């Protein structure tokens, strides 16, 4: 989903619904985080993170980030900050760019929900994928750095770093189609013929899951911290959806910026400095040892169908009164458009 960068930059006073006992946190930090100097100052990051996220500053001026489950009744598998902590802890010793993890607290009496603390990585976050504030050469370098980091993730031996039980190897795409079909049907507000055709066609035509890797599942520029001056990723953020799965789901989700995202609106990518989709695909194949990606149109159909499921879920929650969305009407109009776009790619894939 598109997010407006200005609304997500910086911190604010902790919202009333997300406040907790700061002295209790301070005691935890003193006991569990090496080098922590009390007292702690707590601010909340702006934005729509499903897991409330805070900037902590200790008495020596050192900064940390705390991510917690939100308070209240939640779905059993939702807001899995313990899974985030697990994958970050496994990746950090390998040199993969994640923030240094300091500690996971499963004792809900400390601040009310489970949470973890990691280092705060200072750098640049690019909310607009077209990089309007950068020169063409830097745009190219930034996007290629992001691609290299994703390929490094997919090349990581998950068994060697203790993540063999982080997900279920195999049938990832089939399980994802089933998941998003169920969400769509549970939230359905109108009959859309293109979506019905996709629900029938996608599971029949799933490409073979030829590889299982760690997948981030929400990888894009605004979930990365780029070095302050270099085109180099220094931290990948927001691992809430990560699991073991098909790396092509991860990569083709990133490619959606070229298909129907902001990058697709640029008339001359070469002049702008952003790699073409063909260049991006070729480089990903080179970095991961693939000879090509023959099923791209299938994956594009799937990714747009997935987005339709996400949008329909928002529409359904607004209908049921569980989400306050003034844009619900606009969202409802978008679902048929997404269905039609996904079906066009399905037809290109042979439907």
Write the pLDDT tens digit of every residue in 255-291.
999 998 999 999 999 999 999 999 999 999 999 999 9
Concatenate the DSSP letters of all residues of 249-317 into one string.
HHHHHHHHHHHTSGGGG-S-HHHHTPPPHHHHHHHHHHHHT-S--TTHHHHHHHHHHHHHHHHHHHHHH
Both 236 and 93 in one domain: the answer is: no
- Phi-psi category of 39—alpha, beta or left, where left has phi over 0 and alpha has psi -120 to 50? beta
CB 138 within 8 A of CB 226: no
Quick one: 77 and 190 in the same domain? Answer: no
Same structural domain for residues 81 and 226? Answer: no
Q: Are residues 113 and 241 in the same domain?
A: no
Q: In the Cβ-directed half-sphere of 37, how many Cα atoms lie within 13 Å? A: 6
CATH number at residue 284: 3.90.1200.10
Residues 195 and 324 in one domain: yes
Residue 131: inside a domain: no
pLDDT tens for each residue of 109-132 = 999 999 999 999 999 999 999 999
- State which residues form the domain around 230: 136-348
Of the residues 88, 119, 150, the one at which a domain ends: 119
Q: Look at residue 231 and tell me if it is in a domain.
A: yes
CA distances from 102 to 34, 138, 178, 194, 209 (A): 8, 33, 36, 48, 35
Percent of the chain's residues with pLDDT above 70: 91
pTM score: 0.90
Asked whether residue 60 falls in the same domain as residue 189, the answer is no
Q: Do 163 and 39 share a domain, yes or no?
A: no
Q: Which residues pair with 104 in a beta bridge?
A: 116
Closest to 244 measured CA to CA, from 166, 173, 178: 166
Both 113 and 231 in one domain: the answer is no
Give the integer Cα–Cα distance in Å for 313 and 106: 30
Q: What is the pLDDT of residue 6?
A: 47
**76 shares its domain with 163:** no
Identify the pLDDT of residue 142: 98
First to last CA, the chain: 27
Indicate if 293 and 332 belong to the same structural domain: yes
Does 221 lie in the same domain as 143? yes
DSSP character string of 53-118 = EEEEE-TTS-EEEEEEPPSS---TTSS-HHHHHHHHHHHGGGT-S-PPEEEEE--TTTTSS-EEEE
The mean pLDDT value for 37-53 works out to 84
How many structural domains comprise the chain?
2
Listed in sequence order, the residues at least 6 apart from 30 whose beta carbon sits closer than 8 Å to its beta carbon are 36, 38
């Amino acid at each position: 989903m598109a997010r407006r960068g200005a609304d997500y930059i910086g911190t604010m006073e902790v919202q009333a619904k997300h406040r907790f006992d700061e002295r209790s946190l301070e005691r935890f930090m003193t006991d569990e985080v090496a080098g922590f100097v009390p007292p702690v100052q707590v601010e909340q990051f702006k934005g729509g993170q499903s897991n409330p996220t805070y900037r902590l500053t200790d008495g020596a001026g050192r900064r940390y980030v705390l991510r917690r489950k939100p308070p209240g009744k939640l779905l059993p598998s939702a807001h899995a900050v313990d899974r985030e902590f697990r994958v970050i802890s496994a990746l950090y010793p390998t040199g993969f760019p994640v923030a240094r993890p300091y500690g996971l607290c499963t004792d809900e009496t400390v601040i009310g929900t489970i949470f973890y603390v990691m280092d705060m990585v200072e750098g640049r976050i690019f909310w607009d994928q077209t990089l309007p504030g950068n020169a063409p050469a830097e745009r190219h370098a930034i996007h290629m750095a992001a691609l290299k980091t994703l390929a490094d993730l997919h090349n990581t031996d998950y068994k060697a770093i203790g993540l063999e039980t982080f997900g279920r190897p195999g049938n990832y795409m089939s399980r994802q189609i089933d998941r998003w079909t169920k969400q769509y049907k549970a939230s359905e507000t109108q009959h859309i013929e293109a979506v019905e055709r996709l629900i029938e066609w996608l599971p029949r035509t799933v490409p073979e899951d030829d590889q299982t890797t760690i997948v981030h599942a929400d990888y894009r520029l605004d979930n990365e911290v780029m070095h302050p001056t270099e085109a180099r990723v220094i931290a990948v953020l927001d691992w809430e959806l990560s699991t073991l799965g098909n790396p092509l789901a991860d990569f083709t989700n990133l490619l959606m910026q070229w298909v129907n995202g902001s990058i697709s609106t640029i008339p001359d990518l070469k002049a702008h400095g952003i790699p073409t989709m063909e260049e991006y695909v070729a480089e990903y194949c080179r970095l991961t040892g693939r000879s090509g990606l023959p099923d791209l149109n299938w994956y594009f159909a799937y990714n747009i169908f997935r987005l339709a499921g996400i949008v329909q879920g928002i529409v359904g929650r607004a209908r049921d009164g569980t989400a306050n969305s003034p844009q619900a009407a606009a969202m409802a109009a978008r679902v048929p458009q997404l269905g039609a776009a996904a079906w066009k790619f399905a037809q290109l894939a042979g439907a």
